[in-house]
Amino acid sequence: MPVQVSTTQAFESYLSPTGSRLAFELPDNSNEQLRIGLMSTSDGKAYKTLILPRTPGLVPVRWTPNGQEIAFTNLRDNGTNIWTIAVDGNREAKPLTNFKTETIFDFSWSADGRQLATLRGSSISDAVLITVTK
């Protein structure tokens, strides 16, 4: 049976590897940052908000396998990379990958947490103008 854990307005949610914590995207009207709320699943109380830089496009957010950091994508210097930030909030975000080109559309760790897979590529789109003549 479903159980409501919070009444906080939130978007995407991510359960920690141990199931004891939940990370979720909080609304932010500035479009300059991504706010990630952290809460305990045992009492439903939010205890921390992490501020991440806003990147154009989809920003996948995942827990690291050890459950001590949040991983997210960030576009810098023409390439999207995966960055991590400690959930205790006491350290700056640091890059985990160092790609120079392309976009990371998604990423995931293997079940044992030893390997990281990324879905990378380029988005190509064309504009076509169609006019109707009579």
DSSP letter for each residue of 80-106: EEEEEEETT--S--EES----SSEEEE
CATH number of the domain residue 80 falls in: 2.120.10.30
pLDDT, tens digit, 9 for 90 and up, residues 81-132: 999 999 886 778 889 999 988 888 899 999 999 999 999 988 788 888 888 8
Give 112 or 42, the one with higher predicted confidence: 112
Tell me whether residue 131 is in a domain.
no
High-pLDDT (> 70) share of the chain, %: 91
pLDDT score, position 30? 67
Give the mean pLDDT of the chain: 84
Q: Exposure pattern of 32-64 as b/e (b: 16+ CB <10 Å)? A: eebbbbbbeeeeeeeeeebebeebeeebbbbbb
Tell me whether residue 133 is in a domain.
no
Average pLDDT over residues 3-10: 73
Cα–Cα distance, 62 to 15 (Å, whole number): 9
For 55, the domain range is 13-121
Closest among 93, 100, 122 to 33, alpha carbons compared: 93
pLDDT score, position 60? 78
